[in-house]
Structure 1
């Protein structure tokens, strides 16, 4: 029978546990943001980070590496709190979101490879072409734009109903848009 009085109390001060969890989460978030996200697959980098840190913090309490389960609980709570706080801040303040959240990057733009993006993401032409083939596209010129999404997957926007190399025309249904000046109603 476990001795509950030794399992639940904290072995370290709460402030130290909060500091450790905060510094670890923020430091790894910054490193992952700098390194990139191409290898993440279906998860966002922050999601992956939270999962790994929670698993590590919880396992320390489960395997006995930490002194008590309370230590692991404080660390898990700290990690989740920072994850929620940063997501809420990114939602509330768009300028912060630009720094914190990854944005899509185009390895293909108007039927041409974007070598700068490919260099930044360490992608070779063969990898881009492989992704195009997975989307059923064999000719690079048929791609209006491709994006490496924040979760690491590549989305592709092909040209529609145009010959290769042609610039598509806007639909006829758009017609001519009415001019609007300040204080004037549009009929």
Structure 2
């Protein structure tokens, strides 16, 4: 097996074109994510992760020679962001659609007792759950009145009154 050293070091696109594509895609993504996608980092769920992966792939296409223009890459990114916005708006505007469009929360602990079926359904070990509880300043399951795995993947905890 031989290495084509010229393909490794000699760009297939002009260096100025690579800089221009990179600059335009960066500025477009910055604007899109800054002004359109306004979720806080702590609220990213599986659907948001999917959008980020798709945006990354769409942006990559606009950076290389697969598309004829950066505009096509930007339009693809805007299309993905548009559909994410539409789904969020539908879930907000029409409560009847929420069970279809968003993941429901799942009860993991109730009145200091684990809900084994829920842990099994989510393949969540007690050690993983305890790690999440410690992040919520809970040392013992018996301190918890209610803990739920939210649709965005976070675990919310309500402590018992002392």
CA positional deviation for 1:146:
0.7
Q: Give SS of 2:156's match.
A: strand
Over 4 Å off, 4+ runs:
none
**1:77-98 CA distance string (max 9 Å, x none):** 2112111111111111111111
Structure 1: distance between partners of 2:53 and 2:73: 13
What are structure 2's unaligned runs of at least 5 residues? 1-13, 22-40
CA positional deviation for 1:157:
0.7
- Tell me, yes or no, if structure 1 residue 134 matches structure 2 residue 132: no
In structure 1, the residue matched to 2:60 is: 59
Give the structure with the larger helix fraction: 2
1:4-15 correspondence to structure 2 within 5 Å:
none
Structure 2: distance between partners of 1:145 and 1:67: 54
In structure 2, the residue matched to 1:50 is: 51
In structure 2, the residue matched to 1:79 is: 80
CA positional deviation for 1:74:
2.5
**1:12-35 CA distance string (max 9 Å, x none):** xxxxxxxxxxxxxxxxxxxxxxxx
Q: Which TM-score applies when normalising by structure 1?
A: 0.59
Q: Give SS of 1:123's match.
A: coil
Q: Which TM-score applies when normalising by structure 2?
A: 0.67
CA positional deviation for 1:139:
2.3
User: Larger radius of gyration, structure 1 or 2?
Assistant: 1
